[in-house]
């Protein structure tokens, strides 16, 4: 370890995901001199186009959107001081049930072993001490998030590496806070139907099941600015409506569940690198 820096690798699905779930830890660990590697799996082509034009609507050009979102991603990485950006550039699959799920070349249609082999090559190159990605449900059921989870776990099996591995999550107590704040900002928001409410209630984990709580509040301003760098998606990035101070209060703590560890570090922990330094 003396001949190389400690390294964090975050595997995300789309441009802007890096800021939402891990912007704090990316900024914090970069400031501590840790190498931060971001792998973004898709091109984000199913995002909003200029003027907010939606996928499938006249004037939406996935290739142009992908180019714009790459530029935004690079700007976000500059804000977060990410050491290395790697893009797998699979086509964005869109939300679950969209026709784009079935498009040839979409990430959702890519064989897991193919995507995993490419990611395993990056893992062998960077030799991460910590790997972060999503849980089996991609946190909230997005196909590209689920696929990012699948290729990450498969890639780890292909290598001889034994990093600490984490899945991003959210404490249920915080999920309730989000619901209250969303209703505050959208007074006319209808109550979800029972099935949708039940599905939302299953997102995240009970607070006592979360293994790792990283207080990155000191870096929440960078996290906010990184999100704001994804200006084309501003309409769908609810968090930007809060303003920096409130955003920091709510989004400064980033939480994870540890699923692989060879250090024996006790949990709960407040550092992804506990046991490594």
Q: State pLDDT tens for residues 187-237.
A: 555 666 666 555 555 678 889 999 999 999 999 999 999 999 999 987 767
248 pLDDT band (50/70/90 cuts)? confident
- pLDDT of residue 183 exceeding 80, the answer is no
- Structure token pair of residue 192: 């979800």
Alpha helices of the chain — where are they, by DSSP H?
17-31, 62-80, 112-126, 138-141, 143-158, 172-185, 194-201, 220-228, 244-251
144 pLDDT band (50/70/90 cuts)? very high
152 pLDDT band (50/70/90 cuts)? very high
Give the pLDDT score at 184: 66
Q: How far apart are CA 243 and CA 265, in angstroms?
A: 36
56 pLDDT band (50/70/90 cuts)? confident
Give the pLDDT score at 250: 85
Give the pLDDT score at 186: 58
51 pLDDT band (50/70/90 cuts)? confident
Give the pLDDT score at 104: 92
**CB half-sphere exposure, 126, CA atoms < 13 A:** 28
Give the pLDDT score at 192: 60
| Phi-psi region at 213: left, alpha or beta (left = phi > 0; alpha = psi -120 to 50) | beta
Contact between 42 and 13 under an 8 Å Cβ cutoff? The reply is yes
- pLDDT of residue 129 exceeding 80, the answer is yes
Contact between 72 and 231 under an 8 Å Cβ cutoff? The reply is yes
The proportion of the chain whose per-residue pLDDT surpasses 70, expressed as a percent, equals 90
Give the least confident one: 77-91, 124-138, 191-205.
Answer: 191-205
Give the pLDDT score at 187: 55
Closest CA to 89 of 41, 18, 36: 41
Give the pLDDT score at 191: 62
Q: How far apart are CA 257 and CA 247, in angstroms?
A: 22
Listing from the earlier edge strand, what are the strands of the sheet with 253-260? Answer: 84-90, 35-42, 7-12, 130-133, 164-169, 253-260, 212-215
Tell me: cis bond preceding 81? Omega within 30 of 0 counts. Answer: no
Give the pLDDT score at 52: 85
- pLDDT of residue 1 exceeding 60, the answer is no
Give the pLDDT score at 135: 95
DSSP state of 213: E
Mean pLDDT of 66-90: 97
């Amino acid at each position: 370890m003396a001949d190389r820096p400690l390294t964090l690798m975050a595997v995300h699905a789309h441009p802007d995901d890096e800021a939402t779930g891990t912007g704090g830890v990316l900024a914090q660990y970069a400031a501590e001199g840790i190498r931060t590697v971001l792998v973004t799996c898709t091109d984000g082509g199913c995002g909003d186009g200029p003027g907010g034009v939606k996928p499938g609507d006249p004037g939406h050009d996935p290739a142009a959107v992908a180019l714009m979102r790459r530029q935004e991603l690079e700007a976000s990485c500059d804000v977060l001081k990410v050491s290395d950006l790697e893009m797998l550039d699979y086509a964005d699959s869109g939300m679950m049930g969209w026709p784009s799920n079935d498009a040839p070349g979409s990430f959702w249609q890519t064989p897991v072993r193919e995507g995993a082999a490419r990611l395993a090559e990056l893992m062998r190159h960077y030799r991460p001490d910590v790997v972060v990605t999503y849980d089996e449900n991609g946190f909230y059921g997005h196909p590209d998030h689920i696929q990012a989870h699948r290729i990450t776990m498969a890639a780890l099996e292909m290598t001889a590496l034994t990093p600490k591995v984490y899945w991003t999550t959210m404490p249920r107590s915080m999920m309730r806070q989000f619901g209250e704040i969303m209703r505050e900002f959208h007074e006319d928001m209808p109550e979800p139907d029972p099935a949708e409410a039940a599905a939302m209630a299953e997102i995240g984990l009970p607070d006592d099941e979360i293994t790792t709580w990283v207080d990155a509040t000191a870096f929440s301003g960078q996290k906010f600015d990184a999100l704001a760098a994804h200006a084309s998606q501003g309409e769908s990035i609810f968090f930007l409506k809060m303003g920096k101070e409130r955003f920091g209060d709510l989004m400064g703590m980033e939480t994870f569940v540890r699923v692989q560890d060879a250090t024996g570090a006790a949990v709960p922990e407040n550092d992804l690198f506990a046991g490594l330094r």
